[in-house]
Amino acid sequence: MKVYFKFLLIGSFVLNLIRCGKKAETDAIGNPIEQTETSANQTPKALGKEIFEGKGMCATCHKADVATSGPSIKDISKIYTEKKASISLFLQGETDPIVDPSQYEIMKANLEITKTMTNEEVQALEAYMLSVK
């Protein structure tokens, strides 16, 4: 019986060591993020699209050319281009909304996600969104 408990104790210890070495990246809500390509192998536009459709959760409210619960990507791109404004600064919470300020309260929850992103990720989101014409 002692041998069994020693085996169980050592086995548990080894499994915990193995698990501790594998840190899965998670989004702001705690969901695991699947890694496809590394950002070094992607263009900013491709990375932005991946983030937009994935961990950024942007595609939940924004579609390319149809306004749903949020304005379309085309409308966002057009307005930010016309006003020479920065989408990435807005996503980092550093500027006020300019597309549809009445929807800002809804957008605040997602800004908590984008505020945790790296500059590269936010700029990639902007590159993708500005590419949708």
Helix (H, G, I), strand (E, B) or coil at 131: helix
Q: Is the pTM of this model over 0.95?
A: no
Look at residue 99 in the predicted model and tell me its pLDDT.
Answer: 94
Taking the chain (133 residues) in runs of 10, the rounded mean pLDDT of each run is 56 52 56 56 94 94 93 96 96 94 89 95 97 92
d(CA 96, CA 111): 12
Look at residue 41 in the predicted model and tell me its pLDDT.
Answer: 82
Look at residue 133 in the predicted model and tell me its pLDDT.
Answer: 87
